[in-house]
Copies of this chain bind each other. A is one copy, B any other.
Amino acid sequence: MSNQKQFQVAIVGATGAVGEQILKLLEERNFPVKSLKLLSSARSAGKKLTFKGQELTVEEAKPESFEGVEIALFSAGGDVSRELAPAAVERGAICIDNTNAFRMDPDTPLVVPEVNIDKINEHKGIIANPNCSTIQMVAALKPLHDRYGIARIIVSTYQAVSGAGAKAIEETLRQSREVLAGNEANPDVLPVGSLPVKHQIAFNAIPQIDKFQDNGYTLEEMKMIRETKKIMDDESIEVTATCVRIPVVYGHSESVYVEFKKDFDLEEAKQILSDAPGVVLQDDPANQVYPLATDAAGKLDVFVGRVRKDISHPRALNLWIVSDNLLKGAAWNAVQIAEYIAIKQEKA
Residues in chain A within 8 A of chain B (CB atoms): 152, 154, 156, 158, 173, 176-177, 180, 191-192, 195-197, 199-200, 203-208, 212, 215-217, 225, 238-240, 242, 244, 246-249, 253, 255, 257, 285-294, 305-313, 316, 318, 320
Write the nearest CB–CB distance from A287 to chain B, whole angstroms. 7
A206 interface neighbour in B176, B257, B292, Cβ under 8 Å? B292
**Complex contacts, A238 vs chain B, CB 8 Å:** 312-313
Within the complex, what minimum Cβ distance (angstroms) separates A153 from chain B? Answer: 8
- Determine how close the nearest CB of chain B comes to the CB of A200; give it in whole angstroms: 5
Contacting residue for A212 out of B199, B242, B285, CB 8 A: B285
Taking CB as reference atom, which chain B residue is nearest A177?
B180
**For residue A243, which residue of chain B has the nearest CB?**
B255
Partner of A307 from the list B191, B216, B249, B306 (CB cut-off 8 Å) is B216
- Check if B240 sits within 8 Å of A316, measured CB to CB: yes
Of the candidates B196, B203, B225, B242, which one forms a contact with A249 in the assembled complex, judged by CB atoms under 8 Å apart?
B203
B285 adjacent to A239 (CB under 8 Å): no
A215 touches B158 (CB 8 A): no
Contact of A207 among B154, B253, B286 (CB under 8 A): B253
Residue of B173, B199, B249, B313 near A240 (CB, 8 A) is B313
Cβ–Cβ < 8 Å partners of A290 in chain B: 207-208
Q: How far is the CA of A196 from the CA of B255 in the complex (A)?
A: 25
Distance A225 CA – B318 CA, assembled complex (angstroms) = 14
Question: Contact: A287 with B240, CB < 8 Å?
Answer: no
Query: How far is A305 from B197 in the complex, measured between Cα atoms in Å?
Result: 16
